[in-house]
Amino acid sequence: MQKFNGASLADSISDALSIIALYLIGVSILWLFTMEKIDKAIEADMKAKKENQA
């Protein structure tokens, strides 16, 4: 295999893909928490609107 920065190309690609995978897992977890907060805010807003209409 070809060498790139002292490591083989396969090792470099494997390392890069691992870093990307960890980043995407972290973003997915943050996305879930953010969506949960947005859902709660929407529900609270709808409840407040119903109370104001009654």
Domain ranges for the chain: 24-54
The one-digit pLDDT tens for each residue of the chain (54 residues) are 455 567 777 788 888 999 999 999 999 999 999 999 999 999 999 999 998 886
Q: What pLDDT does residue 1 have?
A: 43
Find out whether 21 and 28 touch, Cβ atoms under 8 Å.
Answer: no
Q: What pLDDT does residue 9 have?
A: 74
Kindly report the pTM of this predicted structure.
0.59
Which letter, b or e, does each residue of 23-36 get, where b requires 16 or more Cβ atoms within 10 Å of its Cβ?
eeeeeeeeeeeeee
Q: What pLDDT does residue 54 have?
A: 67
Q: What pLDDT does residue 13 have?
A: 87
